[in-house]
Structure 1
Amino acid sequence: MSHVVTLNAGSSSLKFSLFTLHKDDPVAICTGAVDRIGSPEATIAAKTSDGRVLGGDGVGPIADHVAAMNRVLDLLTQWFPKAEIVAVGHRIVHGGPDHDRPIQLTPDSLRALEDLAPFAPLHQPYNLQGVRAAIERFPQAVQVACFDTAFHRHHPWVNDTFALPTEYYDMGVRRYGFHGLSYEYIADHLAKTAPLLHGGRVIVAHLGNGASMCGLIHGRSVGSSMGFTALDGLPMGTRCGQLDPGVVLYLMQQKGMTADEITELLYCKSGLLGLSGLSNDMRTLEQADTGAARRAISYFNFRARRELGALAAVLGGLDAVVFTGGIGENSALVRERVCVNMGWLGIELDHDANTEHARIISTPLSRVQVMVIPTNEELVIARAAARFVYPHMYEALLDKAAARTG
C-alpha cells in the first residue's frame, strides 16, 4: 500500500506524520512531533493510530531543524521499513503572490522559494531544508509544497495592500497572511460538522508559538492579522507582533542597530520571551505565575481581544469563534481572558465547559458559538500530496480545492 510522509516545520517544532492512501481520504498511521528544537529540553514523541507509543520524552538537545529532520526520517524508516513512500508533503510558509494552491516541487521552484526566505526567516529556510532531506532520502517520491499563504491569496484588495506607492504592491510588498493550512483544515471541518456556521462569519484564532487570527466568510479568508511577514499582528512566542515602524527607524538611526540585530530582536527575542524575560512557552509562563509572566500573558490576551474586535468589524458581524493551535486548544486561561466581557459582541462563555476543554465552550444562549477544534495541518498536506500522485482517486478532493480558490 502507498504512503505519504508529511513534514511541518514550525519556528521551534517539527510535526511529522505517515499516512496510508485509502480511497476516500488519507489515513494517518503515525503522528509525532519534535518539540522545543534548539533547547536542552527537546523531545520527540510519536504514536500510531492505535495508540502505540513509538518515541518518548527526554531526548535531550536537538541543535537545529536539520538535526530534527534527519532524526525524524531515520525514525520513520526504522519504524515502518516496508512503507512505500510515494510522496512527501511539505508545509512551506511563504508562497509569494503567485501560488494560491499546492505545487509539485522542481529544482526551479525550489530556487524561487529560496528567494522568499527573507519574508519568513524563521520558517522558510527550515521548510526547504526538509525538502532537500526528503529528496535525498526518498528520491523517487513526489515532493509537494503546501503554502501557508495560499489560503489568503484572494483577499479583497483593501485587506491585501499597504498605504504605500502602488509600485511597491506590484513588486510584492503586500499583506500575505499565514497559517493558511490550519485555517483550511478548520474551514473544511466546519463545512462537514457545522455547515450553517461555515456559511456564516467565523473568526479562527490560531494561537501558539506562532499566532494569528483569520476572518472567514463562507469558508474563505477575507482578513488576517498577519501581513507582509509572519511578524505582524498578535504577539507570539519570540516575535513582537504589531509594531510601529517608527520603532525600527529609531533603533537604526538613534541606537545604531544593524538590520541583522533588529531581525534577531524582533524575531527571536521579543514576544512572550521578551516581555517575561523567562520563556516563550505559555505553559511555562502560566506555571511560573511571576509578575513579569502575568504581564506577558495579559499583553497576549489584550492583543487577541483587540484583533477579535477588528476582524468582527471586517466581517460585518460574527457567528462563531474557533480556538485552535497549541495555546488555543490547551490554555483555558487564555480562552477565558480573550472572551470575558465580550457580551457586547455576542460571546457568552461557559466557564465549566472551557475548563473541561469541551468542543463548544459558549453557553446555549450565546449569540456567537465559541468552539475549540484541534487543527490538523498534516491531513491538509497529505491530501494535497495524494492528489498529485493519484489525481483520479482523489478527484473529489481536487474539486473541493478548486472551488476554494475560485
Structure 2
Amino acid sequence: MYILVINSGSSSIKYQLFKGDSDTPICKGLVERIGLDGSRAVHEVTLNGEDQKIIAERSIADHQEGMQVLAALLVREDIAVLADPAQITTVGHRVVHGGETLTATTSITEEVKDKIKALYSLAPLHNPGHIKGIEVSEQMFPQAIQVAVFDTAFHRTIPEKAFRYAIPEEFYTEDHLRVYGFHGISHQYVSAQASAYLNKPDAKLITIHLGNGCSMAAVDGGKCIDTSMGLTPLDGLIMGTRTGTIDPSILIWLMERKGYSLTEVSDLLNKKSGMLGLTGSSDMRDVGKLYNEGNHAAVTAYQMYAYRVKKFIGAYAAALNGLDAIIFTAGVGENDSFARELVCTDMDFFGIDIDKEKNATRAPGIRDLNIAGTKTKILVIPTNEELAIAQQCRELLDTQ
C-alpha cells in the first residue's frame, strides 16, 4: 500500500509518499512559488542508503502544472521510488474549506467534488487548486482511492459565542455564515506535539501558523476554542497576498467611490494585498532582504505583520484564561527568526521572553526558544500536515 499525500497551499504543493503503515515518508518534496518568479520543485529521496535532493528550477504557472512536475519526479528513472504509478493505492488531499456539510475525512466522489466546488467563493485561493489536484490525480492514478481531509474539521469545537457573527440570525440559520477556521490539520498536529512535549494534556496553547497563508488558534486541552480565520481564509493576520482583518466599510468605499466590481474587490483582498500590496512581494524571504536594505515599506510591513500576531496573542490569552506556550510553525514560523523575535519583543507581561541566541540557531525537531525560567514556553514545532493526512487516510480505510 502506498499513500501519496498532496497538500496544496495558495502558492505551493507539498507532498509525501508513505508505504504501508510507516510514518516515515519514502520521499517528499515541495513545489514552491507557483505563479511567481523563481518557481521550482525540491524533491528529497533516500536511495541505497544515501539522501538525495533534486532541485528542478523551471517556470510553474499553476497548480495543475505543479502536480505534473510532482508525478514525473516519482517515476523518474534515476531517482524512481515507484516502478509504476499503479502502485499508489490512496491519494490523500488536503482541502481547505469543507463548509458545514464536509466535516470529516471522506472518500472523494462526484458529489464531494461538487460540494468542494460550491465552496469556491469561500476559499478562492485554495479550493479551485484542490479540485485541479484531485482531477489530475484521478487521471494519473485512476486505480487509487482519492481521499479528502478538511482543514476546517479541527475548529468544530469552537463555541457558538466565538463562531457567530453579529448579523441577523437568518444569515447563520439559513446561509450558514459563521467562523469556520482553517489550517486545522496543522494546528491540531502541532498542538498535540506541544502537549506531549510539555507532558501536559490540559495545556493552554496558542498555535501560530505563519506561511503564505497565516492563522492562529487558541487550544485548550486539545480542543480549539477560537481561531483567527473566519468564514473564509481571508480574515485575521496579514498574509502573503491577503489583507487579514479589515474595516468592511473600506470595501463599500471602493465600490461606491472607485467603481470596483465584486470580482475586483475579491481579487484585491485575496490576491493583491497583504505583504504583496505593502512591499511588492508576497514571499517573506524577499521582504526580509528589502528590510535589511533599509526599505521603508518592508520595515513597516514587518512591524505590521508582527503587531497583528501580538494582538491575537493577547486576545487568546484572555480567552484561554492562561497560557502555557506559544507555538510557531509553517514556513515563516519555522524559518524566519526575525519575525519570531518581533512577535516576542515587549511581551513580558505574558511571560514571553525570547532567547535571541537560541532563536537565531537552526536545529531540527521541536525547539524551545524562551529564556530559562520564564513562565510561557516559546516553541518552534515543524508542522507535518502530510503525516496527519496519511494517518487520517489509514483510519478511514480501516473503517471501510
Using structure 2 for the length normalisation, give the TM-score: 0.93
Give, as a single letter, the amino acid of the residue that structure 2 aligns with 1:13. Answer: S
Partner of 2:177: 173
Per-residue CA deviations over 1:299-354 (Å, capped at 9, x if unaligned) read 10111111111111111111100000111101111111101111101112111111
User: Structure 1's 182 and 51: CA in aligned 2 closer, same or farther, altered over 3 A?
Assistant: farther
Partner of residue 353 from structure 1, selected from 354, 358, 361 = 358
CA distance in 2 between partners of 1:298 and 1:51 (Å)? 43
Partner of 1:397: none
Partner of 2:326: 321
SS in 2 for 1:27: coil
Partner of 1:183: 187
SS in 1 for 2:304: helix
CA distance in 1 between partners of 2:194 and 2:343 (Å)? 22
Q: Aligned-pair distance for 1:363? A: 1.3
Is structure 2 residue 39 aligned with structure 1 residue 42?
A: yes
Q: CA RMSD in A?
A: 1.5
Is structure 2 residue 284 aligned with structure 1 residue 282?
A: yes
Partner of 1:3: 2
Q: Identity of paired residues, percent?
A: 38
Partner of 1:232: 235
Per-residue CA deviations over 1:72-104 (Å, capped at 9, x if unaligned) read 122223322336211000000001023332111
CA distance in 1 between partners of 2:196 and 2:146 (Å)? 29
Partner of 2:93: 90
Instruction: Give unmatched runs, 5+ long, in structure 2.
Output: none
Give, as a single letter, the amino acid of the residue that structure 2 aligns with 1:284. Answer: D
Q: Runs of 4+ in structure 1 displaced over 6 angstroms? A: none
Is contact 2:181–2:227 with CA below 8 Å preserved after alignment?
A: yes
CA distance in 2 between partners of 1:322 and 1:191 (Å)? 11
Give, as a single letter, the amino acid of the residue that structure 2 aligns with 1:97. Answer: E
Is contact 1:347–1:369 with CA below 8 Å preserved after alignment?
A: yes
Q: Give the number of aligned pairs.
A: 386
Partner of 1:81: 82
CA distance in 2 between partners of 1:141 and 1:248 (Å)? 44
Is contact 1:207–1:328 with CA below 8 Å preserved after alignment?
A: yes
Is contact 2:26–2:81 with CA below 8 Å preserved after alignment?
A: no
CA distance in 2 between partners of 1:107 and 1:149 (Å)? 20
User: Structure 1's 223 and 355: CA in aligned 2 closer, same or farther, altered over 3 A?
Assistant: same
Alignment of structure 1 residues 15-94 onto 2, 5 Å: 15-22=14-21, 25-49=22-46, 52-57=51-56, 59-78=57-76, 79-82=80-83, 84-94=87-97
CA distance in 2 between partners of 1:146 and 1:200 (Å)? 26
CA distance in 2 between partners of 1:100 and 1:109 (Å)? 11
Is contact 1:215–1:224 with CA below 8 Å preserved after alignment?
A: yes
Partner of 2:198: 194
Partner of residue 382 from structure 1, selected from 351, 373, 390 = 390
CA distance in 1 between partners of 2:50 and 2:16 (Å)? 14
Q: Aligned-pair distance for 1:158? A: 1.0
CA distance in 2 between partners of 1:173 and 1:123 (Å)? 19
Per-residue CA deviations over 1:338-394 (Å, capped at 9, x if unaligned) read 0111110111211111111460000121100110001000001111112233449xx
User: Structure 1's 52 and 130: CA in aligned 2 closer, same or farther, altered over 3 A?
Assistant: same
Using structure 1 for the length normalisation, give the TM-score: 0.92
Is contact 2:238–2:308 with CA below 8 Å preserved after alignment?
A: yes
Instruction: Give unmatched runs, 5+ long, in structure 1.
Output: 393-406
Is contact 1:160–1:175 with CA below 8 Å preserved after alignment?
A: yes
